[in-house]
Amino acid sequence: MSENVGRWLRDEIENAILSYEFAPGERLDETVLANRFGVSRTPVREALMQLDAIGLIEIRPRRGAIVIDPGPHRIYEMFEVMAELEGLAGSLAARRLDKASREAITATHGRCEQSAGAGDSDAYYYDNEEFHKAIYAASRSDFLQEQCVQLHRRLRPYRRLQLRVRNRLSTSFSEHCAIVDAIFAGDGDEARRLLRTHVGIQGERFSDLVASMATR
Amino acid sequence: MSENVGRWLRDEIENAILSYEFAPGERLDETVLANRFGVSRTPVREALMQLDAIGLIEIRPRRGAIVIDPGPHRIYEMFEVMAELEGLAGSLAARRLDKASREAITATHGRCEQSAGAGDSDAYYYDNEEFHKAIYAASRSDFLQEQCVQLHRRLRPYRRLQLRVRNRLSTSFSEHCAIVDAIFAGDGDEARRLLRTHVGIQGERFSDLVASMATR
DNA sequence: ATTGTCATTCTTGTATACACAAACATTGAC
DNA sequence: GTCAATGTTTGTGTATACAAGAATGACAAT
């Protein structure tokens, strides 16, 4: 319970939104939330204001807060930006790689290999996240790292959908291998290119998924 | 006075921070702010929470809010990310250019030409901003556009410093020309490359500036 | 039957009050 | 003279009360 109730609530509500417990478009009633969490309205409002600032909900003056529904197109756009940022992170990582970062990447990459080999998509989902975070950290750019982590977080629910797709798991891992090679070889441009497509593909896969669901 | 006091205060305080009225490191006292703006502490707190979420200030539990001092290195990192995002925007703009965007770019580019020719760095500062925003819009990616505008806003104070540097004004404009050519020619890769260096240079200039001030 | 207006009710927006924690200063002891 | 402990003060964190605006439903008029 992170020091003050406002922050705790922010994280709590954020998780609820990202896990679809609060559905997109749903109205968030301050009083209801306050009762549910056993606090007064004040910290609830503080949490909501923060989520509004982050862009997860929208507060319309005098009309309450609703969960933002990004919509397939906007999610694709977010993947597009994510791909670009990850590409930059990879490029910087390749140029600035030091021992600690190299070991972190090797370790997380190894864990991905295990879970991919075992076909455990839940484990891979988690290990994959750590692998990408290791690359962000290796970029040695605090700001970039923060931006990447934040976007990654917002895209998390949509990533998860795709790992169940046939062969995606092993394809993803082989892409990781090429990325690691490029970074360790100090080839920034190649790392950038590989990461950009690696992440960009997820946006396209997501579009395909939505398209196939729409025609169904 | 934007509908509700909280938002108004958020914008008001944000501007005060970005214009250095509230200096980096300065402590923001809720009661003082409330008196200054003639409101109670509640909307002040809401504004502060939002600014914290955006990353402009830091609220340490039970110890109040302080204005974040990004520091030269972090500002450089921010320019680095900005360069990447603008590069993407330019690349998309080149591919997706339509009539309206083309006209918007031409118009803002023309205004830059005038103010650059007149040597009016204040006017150029404003026109330059509009020019870049026209490119964001031309990318046809709402999310990217929002991200760019937000980062642009945060970097605004540091951009301003540099336009006074000798020859920067005319150099900047000639870079604009090349960028416009690439976008209008539909050459996404070239537009990306040019924009990346155009913006990246600003980060480097900023570093130079800080270095020269430090040795002084 | 449909539409428009008014009133009621519900929810948000703001203010104020109170509680509690942290920083600071003052005093006393070693 | 210095350090520690305690009291005071200041300012944040939470709750609650009150005001104002929006949604909803009912009733009347066309």
The answer to whether the CB atoms of B85 and A87 lie below 8 A apart is no
The answer to whether the CB atoms of A143 and B49 lie below 8 A apart is no
User: CA-to-C1' distance for A63 and D23, Å?
Assistant: 9
Q: How far is B55 from chain A (nearest CA, A)?
A: 10
pLDDT the model gives residue B212: 83
Same domain? For B10 and B58 the reply is yes
Residue A42, token pair as written in the block: 């004040």
Is the Cβ of A80 closer than 8 Å to some Cβ of chain B? yes
pLDDT the model gives residue A98: 95
The answer to whether the CB atoms of B45 and A46 lie below 8 A apart is yes
pLDDT the model gives residue A113: 97
Same domain? For B172 and B194 the reply is yes
Same domain? For B98 and B190 the reply is yes
Which of the listed residues A67, A92, A113 is the one where a domain comes to its end? Answer: A67
User: CA-to-C1' distance for B4 and D21, Å?
Assistant: 12
* Contacts with B49 from chain A: Cβ below 8 Å: 6, 46, 49-50, 53
Same domain? For B14 and B83 the reply is no
Same domain? For B180 and B208 the reply is yes
Q: Give tens-digit pLDDT for A7-49.
A: 899 999 999 999 899 999 999 999 999 999 999 999 999 999 9
**Identity at B168, one-letter amino acid code:** R
How many DSSP H helices and E strands does chain A contain?
Answer: 9, 3
Same domain? For B57 and B86 the reply is no
Same domain? For B32 and B113 the reply is no
User: CA-to-C1' distance for B36 and C17, Å?
Assistant: 21
Cα–Cα distance, B121 to B191 (Å, whole number): 25
Which of the listed residues A35, A67, A99 is the one where a domain comes to its end? Answer: A67
The answer to whether the CB atoms of A81 and B61 lie below 8 A apart is no
Size of interface A-B (CB pairs under 8 A): 75
The answer to whether the CB atoms of B80 and A144 lie below 8 A apart is yes
Q: Give tens-digit pLDDT for A154-201.
A: 999 888 777 777 788 899 999 999 999 999 999 999 999 999 999 999
Which of the listed residues A17, A52, A67 is the one where a domain comes to its end? Answer: A67
Is the Cβ of B52 closer than 8 Å to some Cβ of chain A? yes
Sign of the alpha-carbon dihedral angle for B151, A140, A86, A191: positive
Q: Any idea what the CATH number is for the domain that residue B131 is in? A: 1.20.120.530
Same domain? For B62 and B75 the reply is no
Same domain? For A192 and A89 the reply is yes
Q: How many domains does chain A have?
A: 2
- What confidence category does residue B157 fall into, taking pLDDT thresholds of 50, 70 and 90? confident
Q: Which of A51, A78, A81 comes nearest B88 by C-beta? A: A81
Q: Give tens-digit pLDDT for A148-159.
A: 999 999 999 888
Same domain? For B128 and B168 the reply is yes
* Contacts with A78 from chain B: Cβ below 8 Å: 143
- pLDDT above 70 for A2: no
Same domain? For A43 and A90 the reply is no
**Domain of A194?**
71-215
Same domain? For A26 and A78 the reply is no
Full 3-state SS string of B18-85: HCCCCCCCCEECHHHHHHHHCCCHHHHHHHHHHHHHHCCEEEECCCEEEECCCHHHHHHHHHHHHHHH
Give the relative orientation of helices A71-96 and B142-162 as an angle to the nearest 10 degrees: 50
Q: Any idea what the CATH number is for the domain that residue B42 is in? A: 1.10.10.10
